[in-house]
Amino acid sequence: MAGLSNCLRDHRDRAGLTQADLAEAIGVSRKTINTIENNVFTPSTLLALKLARCLGVSVHDIFTLEDDV
Amino acid sequence: MTAPTLTLIRNGSFSLLGLILLAYAAAVLATGRPDPVSPILPGAAGILTGIIVTLTARMATGKAAGIAWDELTRATWRRALTGGYWVAVWLYALFGLGLYLDLVTPAQSFAAMGTLTGAAPFLIFLANWVRGRV
């Protein structure tokens, strides 16, 4: 089964945001951002969309099926 | 009240409740009595924890409460409840064996299993929270 990988950290760095900034902007804890970046936690579609909107990219830019890499 | 404060209060309350329930079960097994201290204590501690967590969340802004109980926290809690279910199943097996071998009485089993089953989700939640696991 394909796993999910993400490059949230790259997009966040590019946007010049800290984990705390991004967490505050979308209304979650910093720990949530950290666990997503470390592939410990897979966010819901709703949270993925919020992240993408906040970073000005599409969900597909952040999250990728490992088969596609 | 900020989200980190709410998180601290919640985790502190869960820790205290888990330890009270665990200590009660240990005291039951150590003393051989189903009521080593007042049997009202475990239930009262659970209800008090619920009141504290609910009231503090209501006193905070909606955003702070939302952050303190965000998606990761809810997922961690759901996982802890699942773990708690399996702890309960294993406790039945374990105490069933204890009863069969006359190591514990039915009254002791009732008191210990009830409090251990109650403690499990809170302690699993905290363990996963501290380790950063879901």
**Are A27 and B73 in contact (CB < 8 Å)?**
no
Q: What pLDDT, in 10s, does the model give residues A20-44?
A: 999 999 999 999 999 999 999 999 9
Please enumerate in sequence order all residues whose Cβ is within 8 A of that of B41, keeping only pairs 6 or more positions apart, or say none.
B20, B24
Q: What is the pLDDT of residue B132?
A: 83
Q: What pLDDT, in 10s, does the model give residues B114-127?
A: 999 999 999 999 99
Contact of B123 with B18, CB cutoff 8 Å: yes
Structure tokens at B130: 């501290």
CA distance B94 to chain A (A): 33
For residues B21-39, give the mean pLDDT: 96
Over pLDDT 90: what percentage of chain B?
94
What is the pTM for the complete model shown?
Answer: 0.90
For residues B58-67, give the mean pLDDT: 92
Residue of chain B minimizing CA distance to A42: B72
CATH homologous superfamily, domain A2-57:
lambda repressor-like DNA-binding domains (1.10.260.40)
Contact of A62 with A48, CB cutoff 8 Å: yes
Measure the CA–CA gap between B39 and B18, rounded to whole angstroms: 16
The residues in A 21-60 lying below 8 A from B, measured between CB atoms, are: 23, 27-29, 31-32, 34-35, 38, 40-41, 43-44, 47
Regarding an ipTM greater than 0.85, the answer is yes
Return the domain boundaries, chain A.
2-57
